[in-house]
Amino acid sequence: MAEETEISQLGEFGLIDRLTSGTKTEDPSTLTAVGDDAAVMQYVADNDTRVLVTTDMLLEGVHFDLTYVPLKHLGYKAAVVNFSDIYAMNGTPRQITVGLGVSKRFTVEHLEALYEGIKLACGIYGVDLVGGDTTSSRSGLVISITCLGTAKASDVTLRSGAKDTDLICVSGDLGAAYMGLQVLEREKTASAGQSDFIPDFAGKEYLVERQLKPEARRDIVKDLHEAGIVPTSMIDVSDGLSSELLHICKASGVGCRVYEDRIPIDYQTAVMAEELNMNLVTAALNGGEDYELLFTVPLTDLQKIEKMKGVKLIGHITRQELGCVLVGRNDEEIQLKAQGFTHL
């Protein structure tokens, strides 16, 4: 019998590549399939509108811990991370369907709290909840959300369009969600065996919020449109900056140079990293769950980018043979590696 391969040997993205390798699309309405934040479809031949589809699954004990994650926050986050994938395609989310696997320990009131968060996110982002499915689960709570969105054909942004000399930009700040997770885990450990424990989040509120209640960056997509900028490539930062940069470079057939001193980091993130004796840049590069937008633009858009609030220029695209490099504060060069969190 042939030797079998452990899933952990491939990792999440290696597994996706393995399973989808050689897959052919038959329907002419399928324009792009596996390989981006969302698939792209065109249903009417003379229509300039593209349909975007993405699915995310969250499993209890893998993606979330109900010891410290309120169900309302979980519902909100589950919806928003799907919206983020549509925005990462330079599109607008329109509808979602929700699939749930529920074990017997959950009550109707528990699920109402979860749906309260989903509905809140839909209301804020102008997205309709249009259907789904519910079934029993033997392993806790499972949430699967599919989001449909649209974009103009000329606006659709894939991971594969980055070109040599393009500027690399990122919204917001990085590493805060990962540090928020460390705060929550620390307080969970401290609460063991104490029925009246009160967690201490003083001075760490921003970090906890970034972990429990992230926001999709529709404001950045709106600002890009208003500035007349169509990114050459884009992705959301769900698995860490390093991992997402490598996705873009692989899909585009290019290299990159990113500068350590340009990576945006919030003050609370820096303080928490020092408290935990963690490398701050490593947390920013590999922490994940920031749901910021990482994108590239032509060099000719430099002045427009410099005027945009909440966007930081962190490097530039290079030829593929030059590799993917982080330039340190002392001009040392370190090869980027995909060390973001993997669920497999």
Q: Which CATH number covers residue 120? A: 3.30.1330.10
Residue 192 shares a structural domain with residue 138: no
Number of domains within the chain: 2
Residue 99 shares a structural domain with residue 200: no
Residue 186 shares a structural domain with residue 55: no
- Does 2 map to a domain? no
Residue 145 shares a structural domain with residue 172: no
Residue 171 shares a structural domain with residue 309: yes
Q: What is the pLDDT of residue 2?
A: 59
Residue 251 shares a structural domain with residue 299: yes
For residue 147, the number of C-alpha atoms closer than 13 Å in the C-beta half-sphere is: 30
Q: What is the pLDDT of residue 11?
A: 60
Of the three residues 88, 120, 152, the one that is the final residue of a domain is 152
Domain that holds residue 74: 7-152
- Does 344 map to a domain? no
Residue 142 shares a structural domain with residue 15: yes
- What phi and psi values does residue 37 have, to the nearest 5 degrees? -65, -25
- Does 157 map to a domain? no
- Does 84 map to a domain? yes
- Does 1 map to a domain? no
Q: Is the pTM of this model over 0.85?
A: yes
Number of H helices, E strands in the chain: 10, 13
In this structure, what token pair is assigned to residue 79?
């919806």
Of the three residues 117, 152, 187, the one that is the final residue of a domain is 152
Neighbour count for residue 313 (Cβ, 10 Å): 16
Residue 322 shares a structural domain with residue 182: yes
Residue 70 shares a structural domain with residue 132: yes
Residue 178 shares a structural domain with residue 247: yes
- Does 161 map to a domain? no
Residue 220 shares a structural domain with residue 74: no
Q: What is the pLDDT of residue 344?
A: 44
CATH number where 281 lies:
3.90.650.10
The DSSP secondary structure of 74-134, one letter per residue, reads: HHHHHHHHHHHHHHTTT-EEEEEEEEEEE-TT--HHHHHHHHHHHHHHHHHHT-EEEEEEE
Q: What is the pLDDT along the chain (344 residues), one digit of tens a residue?
A: 557 766 566 665 565 566 556 566 555 667 666 666 566 777 766 689 999 999 999 999 999 999 999 999 999 999 999 999 999 999 999 999 999 999 999 999 999 999 999 999 999 999 999 888 889 998 899 999 999 999 999 999 999 999 999 999 999 999 999 999 999 999 999 888 787 888 889 999 999 999 999 999 999 999 999 999 999 999 999 999 999 999 999 999 999 999 999 999 999 999 999 999 999 999 999 999 999 999 999 999 999 999 999 999 999 999 999 999 999 999 999 999 876 555 44
Q: What is the pLDDT of residue 139?
A: 83
Residue 288 shares a structural domain with residue 220: yes
